[in-house]
Structure 1
Amino acid sequence: MTSRVPGDWYRWIPDQITAEDYRALPEDFCRTIEVIDGHIVKCESPSRMHNRVGRRLAAALEQARKPEPCLLVETDIDVRISDVPLNLRRPDVTVFRCLPGDRRLYATDAVLVVEIVSPESSFRTDTVEKKAAYAAAGIPVYLIVFLNQAGDEVELIEEHRLSEERYELGCGHTRRLSFDDPISVDISFEALTSL
Protein backbone atom coordinates (compact mmCIF):
# COMPACT_ATOMS: atom_id res chain seq x y z
CA MET A 1 0.00 0.00 0.00
CA THR A 2 1.33 3.44 -0.83
CA SER A 3 1.36 6.38 1.55
CA ARG A 4 -1.34 7.96 -0.60
CA VAL A 5 -3.90 5.47 0.66
CA PRO A 6 -5.09 6.12 4.22
CA GLY A 7 -5.76 3.33 6.72
CA ASP A 8 -9.47 3.49 5.95
CA TRP A 9 -8.64 3.17 2.22
CA TYR A 10 -12.14 2.03 1.25
CA ARG A 11 -13.45 5.56 1.94
CA TRP A 12 -10.79 6.97 -0.39
CA ILE A 13 -11.91 5.06 -3.51
CA PRO A 14 -13.32 7.52 -6.08
CA ASP A 15 -16.35 6.78 -8.26
CA GLN A 16 -14.08 6.12 -11.21
CA ILE A 17 -10.54 4.85 -10.68
CA THR A 18 -7.45 5.11 -12.84
CA ALA A 19 -4.67 2.57 -13.32
CA GLU A 20 -2.64 4.55 -10.74
CA ASP A 21 -5.53 4.39 -8.24
CA TYR A 22 -5.79 0.65 -8.81
CA ARG A 23 -2.08 0.13 -8.06
CA ALA A 24 -2.60 1.91 -4.73
CA LEU A 25 -5.38 -0.46 -3.59
CA PRO A 26 -4.56 -3.36 -1.26
CA GLU A 27 -3.73 -6.52 -3.19
CA ASP A 28 -6.22 -8.69 -1.28
CA PHE A 29 -9.00 -6.25 -2.19
CA CYS A 30 -7.96 -6.24 -5.87
CA ARG A 31 -8.41 -10.03 -5.96
CA THR A 32 -12.13 -9.55 -5.29
CA ILE A 33 -12.97 -7.01 -7.99
CA GLU A 34 -13.02 -6.30 -11.69
CA VAL A 35 -12.89 -2.80 -13.18
CA ILE A 36 -15.18 -1.76 -16.02
CA ASP A 37 -14.59 1.68 -17.56
CA GLY A 38 -12.95 2.75 -14.31
CA HIS A 39 -15.82 1.53 -12.11
CA ILE A 40 -15.18 -1.14 -9.50
CA VAL A 41 -17.38 -4.23 -9.78
CA LYS A 42 -17.29 -6.53 -6.77
CA CYS A 43 -17.04 -10.21 -7.72
CA GLU A 44 -19.13 -12.72 -5.82
CA SER A 45 -17.43 -15.68 -4.19
CA PRO A 46 -17.84 -18.67 -6.50
CA SER A 47 -19.33 -22.00 -5.42
CA ARG A 48 -17.12 -24.97 -4.55
CA MET A 49 -18.12 -26.69 -7.81
CA HIS A 50 -17.25 -23.57 -9.78
CA ASN A 51 -13.80 -23.56 -8.16
CA ARG A 52 -13.31 -27.31 -8.69
CA VAL A 53 -14.14 -27.09 -12.40
CA GLY A 54 -11.82 -24.10 -12.86
CA ARG A 55 -8.97 -25.74 -10.96
CA ARG A 56 -9.26 -29.05 -12.84
CA LEU A 57 -9.60 -27.39 -16.23
CA ALA A 58 -6.53 -25.26 -15.48
CA ALA A 59 -4.61 -28.39 -14.42
CA ALA A 60 -5.57 -30.19 -17.66
CA LEU A 61 -4.46 -27.20 -19.74
CA GLU A 62 -1.25 -26.87 -17.72
CA GLN A 63 -0.44 -30.55 -18.21
CA ALA A 64 -1.12 -30.38 -21.95
CA ARG A 65 0.93 -27.27 -22.70
CA LYS A 66 4.21 -27.59 -24.55
CA PRO A 67 7.42 -25.61 -24.05
CA GLU A 68 7.18 -24.05 -27.52
CA PRO A 69 5.49 -21.75 -27.94
CA CYS A 70 5.87 -20.85 -24.27
CA LEU A 71 2.41 -20.66 -22.69
CA LEU A 72 1.38 -20.35 -19.04
CA VAL A 73 -1.90 -21.23 -17.35
CA GLU A 74 -3.28 -19.36 -14.33
CA THR A 75 -6.57 -19.05 -12.49
CA ASP A 76 -8.24 -15.86 -11.31
CA ILE A 77 -5.63 -13.28 -12.37
CA ASP A 78 -6.00 -9.76 -13.71
CA VAL A 79 -6.19 -9.48 -17.48
CA ARG A 80 -5.83 -5.82 -18.41
CA ILE A 81 -8.10 -4.91 -21.32
CA SER A 82 -7.19 -1.20 -21.37
CA ASP A 83 -5.40 1.38 -19.24
CA VAL A 84 -7.59 4.39 -20.12
CA PRO A 85 -10.30 4.00 -19.14
CA LEU A 86 -9.17 1.24 -16.81
CA ASN A 87 -10.73 -2.10 -17.80
CA LEU A 88 -9.64 -5.36 -16.27
CA ARG A 89 -11.27 -8.73 -15.89
CA ARG A 90 -10.39 -11.81 -13.84
CA PRO A 91 -11.21 -14.86 -16.01
CA ASP A 92 -11.61 -18.13 -14.14
CA VAL A 93 -8.76 -19.59 -16.24
CA THR A 94 -6.32 -17.79 -18.53
CA VAL A 95 -3.77 -19.23 -20.96
CA PHE A 96 -1.21 -16.63 -21.98
CA ARG A 97 2.16 -16.19 -23.64
CA CYS A 98 5.10 -16.37 -21.23
CA LEU A 99 5.98 -12.99 -19.79
CA PRO A 100 9.25 -11.91 -18.25
CA GLY A 101 9.19 -11.62 -14.46
CA ASP A 102 5.92 -10.41 -13.02
CA ARG A 103 5.05 -8.12 -15.93
CA ARG A 104 1.42 -7.01 -16.12
CA LEU A 105 -0.76 -9.33 -18.20
CA TYR A 106 -2.62 -7.59 -21.01
CA ALA A 107 -5.40 -9.11 -23.10
CA THR A 108 -3.02 -9.10 -26.08
CA ASP A 109 -0.89 -11.67 -24.18
CA ALA A 110 -3.84 -14.03 -23.63
CA VAL A 111 -4.56 -16.81 -26.13
CA LEU A 112 -7.50 -18.43 -24.29
CA VAL A 113 -9.78 -17.40 -21.44
CA VAL A 114 -12.42 -19.41 -19.59
CA GLU A 115 -15.45 -18.22 -17.67
CA ILE A 116 -17.61 -20.59 -15.63
CA VAL A 117 -21.22 -19.42 -15.58
CA SER A 118 -22.92 -19.31 -12.21
CA PRO A 119 -26.57 -19.99 -13.07
CA GLU A 120 -27.95 -17.49 -10.55
CA SER A 121 -25.61 -14.58 -11.04
CA SER A 122 -23.18 -14.43 -13.97
CA PHE A 123 -25.11 -15.64 -17.03
CA ARG A 124 -25.45 -12.27 -18.78
CA THR A 125 -22.02 -11.05 -17.69
CA ASP A 126 -20.24 -14.16 -19.01
CA THR A 127 -22.29 -14.73 -22.16
CA VAL A 128 -22.73 -11.13 -23.34
CA GLU A 129 -20.54 -8.54 -21.60
CA LYS A 130 -17.31 -10.51 -21.17
CA LYS A 131 -17.76 -12.20 -24.52
CA ALA A 132 -17.88 -8.78 -26.22
CA ALA A 133 -14.97 -7.41 -24.15
CA TYR A 134 -12.71 -10.39 -24.81
CA ALA A 135 -13.50 -10.34 -28.53
CA ALA A 136 -12.84 -6.60 -28.80
CA ALA A 137 -9.53 -7.16 -26.96
CA GLY A 138 -8.53 -9.79 -29.55
CA ILE A 139 -8.33 -12.88 -27.34
CA PRO A 140 -8.38 -15.77 -29.87
CA VAL A 141 -10.36 -18.40 -27.88
CA TYR A 142 -13.11 -17.99 -25.28
CA LEU A 143 -14.57 -21.00 -23.46
CA ILE A 144 -17.84 -20.60 -21.57
CA VAL A 145 -18.55 -23.41 -19.11
CA PHE A 146 -22.22 -23.86 -18.22
CA LEU A 147 -23.10 -25.68 -15.00
CA ASN A 148 -26.53 -27.26 -14.74
CA GLN A 149 -29.25 -25.48 -12.74
CA ALA A 150 -28.31 -27.37 -9.57
CA GLY A 151 -24.71 -26.25 -10.10
CA ASP A 152 -23.28 -29.74 -9.59
CA GLU A 153 -22.46 -30.84 -13.15
CA VAL A 154 -21.01 -29.33 -16.31
CA GLU A 155 -23.81 -29.26 -18.87
CA LEU A 156 -22.11 -27.58 -21.84
CA ILE A 157 -18.84 -25.89 -22.79
CA GLU A 158 -19.06 -23.44 -25.66
CA GLU A 159 -15.85 -22.92 -27.63
CA HIS A 160 -15.81 -19.49 -29.27
CA ARG A 161 -13.11 -18.55 -31.76
CA LEU A 162 -12.27 -15.04 -32.88
CA SER A 163 -13.13 -14.15 -36.46
CA GLU A 164 -13.07 -10.56 -37.73
CA GLU A 165 -13.21 -9.09 -34.19
CA ARG A 166 -16.21 -11.24 -33.20
CA TYR A 167 -16.54 -14.65 -31.63
CA GLU A 168 -18.08 -17.43 -33.64
CA LEU A 169 -19.24 -20.60 -31.94
CA GLY A 170 -16.73 -23.21 -33.02
CA CYS A 171 -18.14 -26.10 -31.04
CA GLY A 172 -20.60 -26.89 -28.29
CA HIS A 173 -18.96 -29.63 -26.20
CA THR A 174 -21.49 -31.81 -24.37
CA ARG A 175 -19.61 -34.68 -22.66
CA ARG A 176 -15.93 -33.92 -23.20
CA LEU A 177 -13.86 -30.86 -23.90
CA SER A 178 -11.53 -31.68 -26.76
CA PHE A 179 -9.55 -29.32 -29.02
CA ASP A 180 -6.02 -28.88 -30.37
CA ASP A 181 -5.35 -25.13 -30.52
CA PRO A 182 -3.82 -23.23 -28.76
CA ILE A 183 -3.26 -26.23 -26.45
CA SER A 184 -4.27 -29.79 -27.18
CA VAL A 185 -6.66 -30.91 -24.45
CA ASP A 186 -9.13 -33.77 -23.99
CA ILE A 187 -10.98 -34.08 -20.68
CA SER A 188 -14.38 -35.51 -19.74
CA PHE A 189 -16.96 -33.39 -17.98
CA GLU A 190 -17.05 -36.07 -15.29
CA ALA A 191 -13.33 -35.56 -14.61
CA LEU A 192 -14.01 -31.85 -14.09
CA THR A 193 -16.69 -32.44 -11.44
CA SER A 194 -16.29 -35.84 -9.76
CA LEU A 195 -15.36 -36.08 -6.09
Structure 2
Amino acid sequence: MTSSAPEDWYRWIPEQITAQDYEALPADFCRTIEVIDGHIVKCESPSRLHNRVARRLAATLEQGRKPEPCLMVETDVDVRISDVPLNFRTPDVAVYRCQPDDQRLYADDTVLVVEIISPESSFRTDTVDKKAAYAAAGIPVYLIVFPSESQDGIEQIEEYRLSGGCYHLVFLHTRRLAMDGPVPVDVPFDVLTSA
Protein backbone atom coordinates (compact mmCIF):
# COMPACT_ATOMS: atom_id res chain seq x y z
CA MET A 1 0.00 0.00 0.00
CA THR A 2 1.21 3.45 -0.80
CA SER A 3 -0.25 6.91 -0.48
CA SER A 4 0.19 7.68 -4.16
CA ALA A 5 -3.53 7.35 -4.92
CA PRO A 6 -5.23 10.25 -6.70
CA GLU A 7 -6.48 13.13 -4.55
CA ASP A 8 -10.10 12.07 -5.14
CA TRP A 9 -9.53 8.40 -4.15
CA TYR A 10 -12.33 8.59 -1.59
CA ARG A 11 -14.92 9.10 -4.36
CA TRP A 12 -14.46 5.60 -5.75
CA ILE A 13 -14.69 3.70 -2.46
CA PRO A 14 -17.71 1.42 -2.92
CA GLU A 15 -20.22 0.84 -0.15
CA GLN A 16 -18.72 -2.61 0.37
CA ILE A 17 -15.00 -2.99 -0.37
CA THR A 18 -13.05 -6.08 -1.37
CA ALA A 19 -9.52 -7.04 -0.36
CA GLN A 20 -8.37 -5.71 -3.75
CA ASP A 21 -10.13 -2.35 -3.14
CA TYR A 22 -8.48 -2.15 0.29
CA GLU A 23 -5.01 -2.74 -1.16
CA ALA A 24 -5.53 0.24 -3.49
CA LEU A 25 -6.36 2.67 -0.66
CA PRO A 26 -3.70 5.11 0.63
CA ALA A 27 -1.64 3.68 3.50
CA ASP A 28 -2.33 6.72 5.70
CA PHE A 29 -6.07 6.14 5.38
CA CYS A 30 -5.79 2.37 5.96
CA ARG A 31 -4.15 2.99 9.35
CA THR A 32 -7.32 4.74 10.54
CA ILE A 33 -9.91 2.08 9.69
CA GLU A 34 -11.11 -1.45 10.26
CA VAL A 35 -13.28 -3.38 7.80
CA ILE A 36 -16.29 -5.40 8.92
CA ASP A 37 -18.08 -7.51 6.29
CA GLY A 38 -16.59 -5.25 3.62
CA HIS A 39 -17.78 -2.03 5.29
CA ILE A 40 -15.26 0.59 6.40
CA VAL A 41 -15.35 1.51 10.08
CA LYS A 42 -13.42 4.65 11.03
CA CYS A 43 -11.39 4.33 14.23
CA GLU A 44 -11.08 7.14 16.76
CA SER A 45 -7.67 8.48 17.77
CA PRO A 46 -6.75 6.97 21.15
CA SER A 47 -5.87 8.93 24.30
CA ARG A 48 -2.33 9.29 25.61
CA LEU A 49 -3.11 6.88 28.47
CA HIS A 50 -4.44 4.37 25.95
CA ASN A 51 -1.26 4.60 23.86
CA ARG A 52 1.00 4.40 26.93
CA VAL A 53 -0.72 1.25 28.22
CA ALA A 54 -0.61 -0.40 24.77
CA ARG A 55 3.07 0.44 24.29
CA ARG A 56 4.13 -0.73 27.76
CA LEU A 57 2.00 -3.87 27.66
CA ALA A 58 3.49 -4.75 24.27
CA ALA A 59 7.02 -4.20 25.66
CA THR A 60 6.23 -6.42 28.67
CA LEU A 61 4.87 -9.17 26.42
CA GLU A 62 7.90 -8.79 24.15
CA GLN A 63 10.24 -9.37 27.12
CA GLY A 64 8.28 -12.44 28.21
CA ARG A 65 7.94 -14.13 24.83
CA LYS A 66 9.77 -17.37 24.20
CA PRO A 67 11.95 -17.98 21.16
CA GLU A 68 10.40 -21.46 20.74
CA PRO A 69 7.74 -21.53 19.54
CA CYS A 70 8.59 -18.21 17.99
CA LEU A 71 6.13 -15.45 18.89
CA MET A 72 6.06 -11.79 17.86
CA VAL A 73 4.35 -8.81 19.53
CA GLU A 74 2.99 -5.74 17.71
CA THR A 75 0.73 -2.79 18.40
CA ASP A 76 -1.95 -1.61 15.97
CA VAL A 77 -1.43 -4.35 13.39
CA ASP A 78 -4.23 -5.53 11.11
CA VAL A 79 -5.45 -9.04 11.91
CA ARG A 80 -7.28 -10.45 8.88
CA ILE A 81 -10.31 -12.50 9.89
CA SER A 82 -11.56 -13.27 6.37
CA ASP A 83 -10.84 -12.26 2.78
CA VAL A 84 -14.40 -12.65 1.48
CA PRO A 85 -16.16 -10.72 2.75
CA LEU A 86 -13.20 -8.61 3.84
CA ASN A 87 -12.98 -8.57 7.63
CA PHE A 88 -10.11 -7.31 9.71
CA ARG A 89 -9.65 -5.77 13.11
CA THR A 90 -6.72 -3.81 14.47
CA PRO A 91 -6.20 -4.82 18.11
CA ASP A 92 -4.23 -2.50 20.36
CA VAL A 93 -1.72 -5.33 20.94
CA ALA A 94 -1.39 -8.66 19.14
CA VAL A 95 0.83 -11.67 19.83
CA TYR A 96 1.26 -13.97 16.84
CA ARG A 97 3.38 -16.80 15.47
CA CYS A 98 6.55 -15.56 13.75
CA GLN A 99 6.31 -14.81 10.06
CA PRO A 100 8.00 -12.50 7.56
CA ASP A 101 7.11 -8.82 7.99
CA ASP A 102 5.66 -8.61 4.48
CA GLN A 103 3.25 -11.51 5.05
CA ARG A 104 -0.38 -10.65 5.89
CA LEU A 105 -1.30 -11.51 9.48
CA TYR A 106 -4.36 -13.77 9.78
CA ALA A 107 -6.33 -14.65 12.89
CA ASP A 108 -5.12 -18.28 12.54
CA ASP A 109 -1.59 -17.10 13.37
CA THR A 110 -2.66 -14.90 16.28
CA VAL A 111 -2.54 -16.31 19.82
CA LEU A 112 -3.48 -13.28 21.93
CA VAL A 113 -5.13 -9.91 21.32
CA VAL A 114 -5.58 -6.93 23.64
CA GLU A 115 -8.13 -4.14 23.41
CA ILE A 116 -7.99 -1.09 25.66
CA ILE A 117 -11.42 0.40 26.28
CA SER A 118 -12.06 4.00 25.32
CA PRO A 119 -15.13 4.68 27.50
CA GLU A 120 -16.54 7.34 25.19
CA SER A 121 -16.24 5.35 21.96
CA SER A 122 -15.29 1.67 22.16
CA PHE A 123 -16.96 0.03 25.17
CA ARG A 124 -19.58 -1.95 23.24
CA THR A 125 -17.27 -2.61 20.30
CA ASP A 126 -14.52 -4.07 22.52
CA THR A 127 -16.72 -5.95 24.99
CA VAL A 128 -19.26 -7.37 22.53
CA ASP A 129 -18.44 -7.03 18.82
CA LYS A 130 -14.69 -7.64 18.88
CA LYS A 131 -15.02 -10.32 21.55
CA ALA A 132 -17.42 -12.24 19.29
CA ALA A 133 -15.28 -11.68 16.17
CA TYR A 134 -12.03 -12.77 17.83
CA ALA A 135 -13.70 -15.86 19.34
CA ALA A 136 -15.26 -16.85 16.00
CA ALA A 137 -11.83 -16.41 14.38
CA GLY A 138 -10.31 -18.83 16.91
CA ILE A 139 -7.88 -16.48 18.70
CA PRO A 140 -7.10 -18.34 21.96
CA VAL A 141 -6.70 -15.43 24.42
CA TYR A 142 -8.42 -12.03 24.60
CA LEU A 143 -7.54 -9.36 27.17
CA ILE A 144 -9.77 -6.32 27.72
CA VAL A 145 -8.16 -3.43 29.61
CA PHE A 146 -10.53 -1.09 31.49
CA PRO A 147 -8.89 2.25 32.28
CA SER A 148 -10.00 3.92 35.50
CA GLU A 149 -12.51 6.71 34.94
CA SER A 150 -11.39 8.76 37.95
CA GLN A 151 -7.62 8.77 37.42
CA ASP A 152 -4.89 7.86 34.96
CA GLY A 153 -4.79 4.19 35.86
CA ILE A 154 -6.27 0.78 35.12
CA GLU A 155 -9.37 -0.42 36.93
CA GLN A 156 -9.18 -4.04 35.75
CA ILE A 157 -8.11 -6.39 32.98
CA GLU A 158 -10.44 -9.19 31.94
CA GLU A 159 -8.72 -12.35 30.68
CA TYR A 160 -10.79 -14.50 28.33
CA ARG A 161 -9.80 -17.94 27.05
CA LEU A 162 -11.36 -19.71 24.09
CA SER A 163 -13.24 -22.93 24.85
CA GLY A 164 -15.86 -24.57 22.67
CA GLY A 165 -15.79 -21.69 20.21
CA CYS A 166 -16.66 -19.08 22.87
CA TYR A 167 -14.66 -16.90 25.21
CA HIS A 168 -14.95 -17.59 28.92
CA LEU A 169 -13.76 -15.16 31.58
CA VAL A 170 -11.01 -17.04 33.40
CA PHE A 171 -9.51 -14.25 35.48
CA LEU A 172 -10.26 -10.70 36.53
CA HIS A 173 -6.94 -8.92 37.16
CA THR A 174 -7.31 -5.98 39.55
CA ARG A 175 -3.84 -4.71 40.54
CA ARG A 176 -1.46 -6.59 38.31
CA LEU A 177 -1.59 -8.67 35.16
CA ALA A 178 -0.17 -12.13 35.88
CA MET A 179 -0.57 -15.04 33.49
CA ASP A 180 1.47 -18.03 32.35
CA GLY A 181 0.75 -18.08 28.64
CA PRO A 182 0.78 -17.88 25.74
CA VAL A 183 3.40 -15.37 26.96
CA PRO A 184 4.29 -15.35 30.65
CA VAL A 185 3.74 -11.92 32.15
CA ASP A 186 3.61 -10.46 35.65
CA VAL A 187 3.36 -6.67 35.76
CA PRO A 188 1.74 -4.24 38.22
CA PHE A 189 -0.82 -1.92 36.66
CA ASP A 190 1.09 1.19 37.77
CA VAL A 191 4.07 0.14 35.62
CA LEU A 192 1.76 0.22 32.59
CA THR A 193 0.28 3.63 33.40
CA SER A 194 2.74 5.84 35.31
CA ALA A 195 3.87 8.97 33.47
Q: Cα distance 1:75–1:101, how it changes in 2: closer, same or farther (>3 A)?
A: closer
**Counterpart amino acid of 2:52?**
R
> What displacement does 1:114 show?
0.1
Cα deviation per residue 1:135-165 (whole Å; 9 max; x = unaligned)? 0000000000001124621000000000000
Runs of 4+ in structure 1 deviating by more than 6 angstroms, as ranges, are none
Q: Distance in 1 between matches of 2:124 and 2:151?
A: 16
**Counterpart amino acid of 1:169?**
L
Match of 2:52 in 1: 52
SS for the counterpart of 2:51 is: helix
> What displacement does 1:7 show?
2.9
Among the aligned pairs, what percent are the same residue? Answer: 74
Calculate the aligned-residue CA RMSD, in Å: 1.4
Are residues 1:26 and 2:37 paired? no
| Unaligned ranges ≥5, structure 1 | none
Conserved in 1, the CA contact under 8 Å of 2:108 and 2:138? yes
Match of 1:35 in 2: 35
Cα deviation per residue 1:145-187 (whole Å; 9 max; x = unaligned)? 0011246210000000000000000100000000011010000
Count of residue pairs brought into register by the alignment: 194
After superposing the two structures, state which structure 1 stretch, 149-158 or 159-168, moved more. Answer: 149-158
Q: Distance in 1 between matches of 2:150 and 2:54?
A: 17
> What displacement does 1:97 show?
0.1
Are residues 1:184 and 2:184 paired? yes
Match of 1:97 in 2: 97
Q: Distance in 2 between matches of 1:22 and 1:98?
A: 24
Match of 2:74 in 1: 74
Match of 2:112 in 1: 112
| Unaligned ranges ≥5, structure 2 | none
Conserved in 2, the CA contact under 8 Å of 1:119 and 1:148? no
Q: Distance in 1 between matches of 2:73 and 2:24?
A: 26
With the length of structure 1 as denominator, give the TM-score of the two structures: 0.96
> What displacement does 1:6 show?
3.4
Conserved in 1, the CA contact under 8 Å of 2:115 and 2:126? yes
**Counterpart amino acid of 1:52?**
R
**Counterpart amino acid of 2:189?**
F
> What displacement does 1:5 show?
5.0
Q: Distance in 2 between matches of 1:101 and 1:30?
A: 17
Cα deviation per residue 1:7-26 (whole Å; 9 max; x = unaligned)? 31011111100000000001
Pairwise mapping of residues 113-132 of structure 1 onto structure 2 (< 5 A)?
Answer: 113-132=113-132
Q: Distance in 2 between matches of 1:101 and 1:175?
A: 35
Q: Distance in 1 between matches of 2:150 and 2:30?
A: 30
With the length of structure 2 as denominator, give the TM-score of the two structures: 0.96
Pairwise mapping of residues 7-18 of structure 1 onto structure 2 (< 5 A)?
Answer: 7-18=7-18
Q: Distance in 2 between matches of 1:156 and 1:101?
A: 33
